[in-house]
Amino acid sequence: MIRDPLKPKDYFDARISFKLECLAEDMEDLAAPEHLDLPARMKVAYGVVDQTLSLLTIRYSRGDEITGMCDEVEQLLTYRKRQKEFADALPDVEQPDRVMWENLTQDSYEQYMQWLAFAAGVGMDQRYFQETLALMDNAGLDALFDRICVQFGDINRPVADTLLYKKHYAPLLKVLDAEPAERPALMKAFLDNWYDNRKGLPGYNLHLCSPDGYYGYWCFEAALVVKLFDIDDSTFRDHRYYPAALVHGD
């Protein structure tokens, strides 16, 4: 059953077909990358990760089974490793070029949350999370992200005491700081304000202004925190922006 009420199934079918075509082209380029210089290879590998995350969002919106998304989740790690491989091979003078593709910007912050939410949702093993967190790196910079990583088993990770993106994520950190009995109400409040709080960010109201760029409005970080910290979601399981299937597998 389709999960996103804003677009019909054939819309998501078309978006998925297009994403698969784009991914196939990029993967073909990286299968025999001799015609690409190292910076281009690094960027193409990054693009595969980015487009795979988009594909997962569209598939979720269409209503695809969560258990059927394992291959795409594995693909994220495969091509993020290739991105690092190409970045490591850059000459010293070009090493600064990798920073923009690896720093914890707000875009990458949200992508990492989504990635981890899908990985937890499909049930990836501890090896997967160890490798993924090592690649995400950026330890000791953001309190919420660090605490999530520690919960995944990165127990020696330094934990920051501040947030990089307070406007959007202070309410979610408040959930973790609360007593277990208080967490469900705080999470629901976070979800209630989540979309309006995104006004001014890329993707806001995209379903109204883009004929084919809308993939779905989902607060993946909420599902990640609920699943990882075992929060009772019975009071908000049907919330419009809560991707409950990543928690419950349905």
Say if residues 114 and 219 touch (Cβ distance below 8 Å).
no
Distance in angstroms (rounded) separating the CA atoms of residues 102 and 80: 10
Q: Tens digit of pLDDT for each residue in 67-78?
A: 999 999 999 999
| In the block, residue with structure tokens 């914890």 | 104
Question: pLDDT of 33-49, one tens digit each?
Answer: 999 999 999 999 999 99
Q: What is the 3-state secondary structure (H, E, C) of 79-113?
A: HHHHHHHHHHCCCHHHHHHHHHHHCCCHHHHHHHH
CB 216 within 8 A of CB 58: yes
Tokens 């690092």 belong to which residue?
84
End-to-end Cα, the chain, rounded Å: 10
How many Å apart are CA 19 and CA 13, to the nearest integer? Answer: 10
Q: Walk along the chain (250 residues) and give the pLDDT tens digit of each residue.
A: 899 999 999 999 999 999 999 999 999 999 999 999 999 999 999 999 999 999 999 999 999 999 999 999 999 999 999 999 999 999 988 888 887 778 888 899 999 999 999 999 999 999 999 999 999 999 999 999 999 999 999 999 999 999 999 999 999 999 999 999 999 999 999 999 999 988 876 665 667 676 788 999 999 999 999 999 999 999 999 999 999 999 999 8
Structure tokens at 162: 């501040």
Cα separation, 129 vs 135, in Å, equals 10
Whole-angstrom distance, CA of residue 149 vs CA of residue 218: 21
Q: 152: helix, coil or strand? A: coil
**What DSSP designation does 93 have?**
G
Q: How far apart are CA 250 and CA 246, in angstroms?
A: 8
